[in-house]
Structure 1
């Protein structure tokens, strides 16, 4: 076990790294294309909604099947489906059919593939590695994602400058093929199910209820979900408006937009590297709360500083990326530690759905809010709300006791075995 899991993750990480770089490049190229073509906050918001809403709607159902199906095959077919959708969009652009509606539809279909791939990947991790290494693995995953966030925007900006948007989309297809090939060389065990469930509406609904009950039975986990959903509700509109803040407030262009994406990735790389190389003794819940406060503060200050303080904006964005990386790794590790293996697909899918649906509501008002109160004030208000979430988390006993309950349960289990 000590040797095999490292080899498996090395193969998976190589495939994921190539895939994430290509996806990051394509995503940023599309953002640049939309920003320069329309200059509209609403268009950026609608594209984000198209990428999120289908995943949120089918997420709980997808989670049921992720727990039933072979998780390796699920990831492979999901990657293949996303690649086919991207290829169709590339062909359409190549033929001269550049339509916003087409972009929204393809982004929505790609979201369906993500609804299966991301939860399956997170659910597979505890089946591959010992629990004591989960936080370190999450840190390395964040490092890989961060490296792709650094290289991706630079590659995307370069690609969109040299090639048409249709040709740039081909990068994502190449990345998906590499990720699929890497998975073919890895054996991923699946959890032992109590019995073979029937694929009927009643049974699927029952499985969804079981996954929901898995969350509700743990009060600390329920509070963690709630606070994370509130924070995500605030983060998503701000994330969509980052290019507009760079363009409109700081007077930037393609270079400045790319730089902001890159330094966010640098911050995430540092955060992931910290967790990958060093196991913090601090409670993961405390880390999550502190990162909420730091991230919210960086967003609020980004909206508050003057237009001449672009260098400060770069520094704040770097710090925000670091906080987001440590938060995400800690949050995923808590879920992987707290949830039974045969329930992880459902729980991760439900989390993504519960977090996305309120975010879509926030995105619906992005254009109106940005035009009414301004992008800067939006950053300040939503950033302060995220800070408030982090502060309230420290005063929630059930949440603060989440790790202590886990440690107590392990000690009792160890004593019983002895």
Structure 2
């Protein structure tokens, strides 16, 4: 890989990229929370909120495999710029609709789906460009910084989203999102991202390229097991995330303030985990970190569900631990994909996995409320936590996973 990649001044390049991404991700978090709050206030319908969330996920699930093919064929820098500008255009359209007071719920759904199309291209392109820009030894630290940016948006987004919506209105909120996406695309103009040489680019049909991407995953048994484990974890964690507010309100008899407190504590845990990854750059095997993250998160979720209803303080503290555990597996998992597959396949691998892993989120959104009502929200925490912890333990006994880091695609 070093023969096709220029990695000089990579820290300066990532400084520019991260600055743009911070504006973009934070403004998107503000807009997302404000949109959910606006739909909730306007309709009072949980069904409307679920449809809005599905509108934001469905295009990424459907388009993922196709987007990955184009990401591997196109220049990744211009793919990211185009995706950001498309998202900015959609945000500007939503802002205009609100400003002209011609908003219809169906039009919001359509525009949310269009914004999701941009995300289907941007996220895999960004992840697949990272190992082209940075040395392998820095990938864990880069993943840690990315987690920090995400955690800042989780902590600040809801608070700023509510303030901006109630003070300035949705049109201003979406203009901020437009500005954030524009800044992200503009910052990329100052970063040189080397292209994969033409002789290594695919000359096959789209279907053949998609099939080759799936085959590359299946041929690496260790990564296949890890991806399956991620899907299993998402399947059980997403319903828990969907009903977390109910855990505070119903089981612990909390208030709306305490709901926001729990979200903030979770973000703090993410932030601490991301900072540790970015500064520590541990020499521990990435597979071991993933197993530790799965097992730790599962154990904490199960303990949260087993707490007596009067132990809200303990629940709040454990929520920080939940957030802290997440970067332990998301960061190393991303790095393993970046190092286990050749650069020519990374767009397809990231997009295909992203598409598959989003499916549990859809199921969680559709059925989490019903499941929690039938068995009790606290039991959902216990059952899901046990499964997640067991998933981590099982990975420890799979030889292809344990020997995964003995080989690299680069």
TM-score (structure 1 length as normaliser): 0.90
- In structure 2, what is the equivalent of residue 371 of structure 1? 373
Deviates more, 1:7-16 or 1:256-265: 256-265
Deviates more, 1:226-235 or 1:114-123: 226-235
- Give 2:362's match in structure 1, choosing from 360, 379, 391: 360
Secondary structure of residue in 1 paired with 2:186: helix
1:296 is the counterpart of 2:301: no
Secondary structure of residue in 2 paired with 1:281: coil
Gaps in structure 2 of 5+ consecutive residues: 1-5
Counterpart contact for 1:66–1:345, Cα < 8 Å? yes
How many angstroms apart in 2 are the aligned matches of 1:34 and 1:374? 27
Query: Which digits, 9 at most, give the CA deviation of each residue in 1:338-395, with x for residues without a partner?
Result: 0100110000001101111243234322232233333333222222221121121112
- Displacement after TM superposition at 1:43 (Å): 4.2
Label 1:34 to 1:305 Cα distance change in 2 as closer, same or farther (>3 A): farther
Query: Which digits, 9 at most, give the CA deviation of each residue in 1:50-94, with x for residues without a partner?
Result: 221210111011000000111111111111111222222233334
How many angstroms apart in 2 are the aligned matches of 1:308 and 1:98? 44
Gaps in structure 1 of 5+ consecutive residues: 411-418
Counterpart contact for 1:193–1:342, Cα < 8 Å? no
Counterpart contact for 2:340–2:407, Cα < 8 Å? no
1:273 is the counterpart of 2:275: yes
Label 1:397 to 1:256 Cα distance change in 2 as closer, same or farther (>3 A): same
Counterparts of 1:156-305 in structure 2, within 5 Å, are 156-194=161-199, 197=202, 203-305=205-307
Counterpart contact for 1:63–1:345, Cα < 8 Å? yes
- Displacement after TM superposition at 1:254 (Å): 4.6
How many angstroms apart in 1 are the aligned matches of 2:26 and 2:214? 34
How many angstroms apart in 2 are the aligned matches of 1:34 and 1:237? 21
Counterpart contact for 2:27–2:157, Cα < 8 Å? yes
Counterparts of 1:98-177 in structure 2, within 5 Å, are 99-177=104-182
Counterparts of 1:43-122 in structure 2, within 5 Å, are 43-97=48-102, 99-122=104-127
Deviates more, 1:242-251 or 1:152-161: 242-251
Secondary structure of residue in 2 paired with 1:361: helix
Secondary structure of residue in 1 paired with 2:243: helix
Aligned pairs, how many?
A: 405
Label 1:17 to 1:295 Cα distance change in 2 as closer, same or farther (>3 A): same
Secondary structure of residue in 2 paired with 1:282: coil
How many angstroms apart in 2 are the aligned matches of 1:154 and 1:215? 40
How many angstroms apart in 2 are the aligned matches of 1:246 and 1:299? 14
How many angstroms apart in 1 are the aligned matches of 2:189 and 2:299? 43
Q: Which runs of 4+ in 1 moved over 6 A?
A: none
How many angstroms apart in 2 are the aligned matches of 1:88 and 1:299? 40
Counterpart contact for 1:271–1:326, Cα < 8 Å? yes
- Root-mean-square deviation (CA, aligned residues, Å) is 2.3
- Displacement after TM superposition at 1:266 (Å): 1.2
TM-score (structure 2 length as normaliser): 0.91
How many angstroms apart in 2 are the aligned matches of 1:328 and 1:175? 25
- In structure 1, what is the equivalent of residue 30 of structure 2? 25
